[in-house]
A and B are shown apart, each in its own frame.
Chain A
Amino acid sequence: MIELQGIEKSYRTRHGVRPVIRPTNLAFYRGANTAVLGLNGAGKSTLLRLIAGVEKPDRGKVLKDVTVSSPLGVTGGFSGNLTGAENLKFICRIYGLDLAETTAFVREFSELGPYFYEPIGAYSSGMKARLMFGVSMAIDFQVYLIDEGLSVGDSSFRWKCQEAFAARRSRSDIIMTSHSMSTIRDFCTTAVVIDDGHVVPFQDLDAAEEYYMEVLAKRAAS
Chain B
Amino acid sequence: MTRLVQSRAYRAIRISLITIHALLLRDALTRYGVRSAGYVWALVQPLLQLGVMMTVFGLIGRAPAVGDSLVIFFMTGIMPLFLLRASLIRGAKAITQNRTLMNYPQVRGFEIITARALLESITSFCVVVLVMLFMKGFHGLPLLDWISNPLELICALATLQLLCYGACFLSAQIGRVFSIWADVVSVSGRLLFFTSGLWYTLGALPPRLRDLILLNPLAQNIEWIRDASIAGFESDLFNPWYPITFGVICLVIGLFIEWLVRIGRFDLIKAVR
Binding site for B on A (CB under 8 A): 9, 11-14, 52-58, 70-71, 73, 75-79, 81-82, 86, 90-91, 93-94, 96, 119
Contacts and interface: CB of A to CB of B under 8 A. Distances in A.
B151 interface: no
B270 A90 contact: no
A93 B33 CA distance: 21
Contact of B106 (A9, A12, A73, A94): A94
Interface stretch (B70-78, B168-176, B187-195, B260-268): B260-268
Residues of B contacting A: mostly: helix
Residue from the set A11, A53, A57, A91 with the largest chain B CB neighbour count within 10 Å = A11
Contact of A70 (B23, B104, B263): B104
Contact of A53 (B19, B30, B100, B105): B105
Contacts of A119: 35
B46 to A, nearest CB: 22
A91 to B, nearest CB: 8
Interface in B23-42: 23, 25-26, 29-30, 33, 35
A58 B25 contact: no
A79 B30 contact: yes
3 nearest A-B residue pairs (beta carbon): A93-B22, A76-B103, A56-B264
Given A58-B264, A90-B25, 10 more contacts: A57-B264, A58-B265, A70-B104, A76-B103, A77-B103, A77-B104, A78-B100, A86-B26, A93-B22, A94-B106
B198 to A, nearest CB: 34
Contact of A93 (B25, B98, B105, B273): B25
Contacts of B23: 90
A114 B144 CA distance: 51
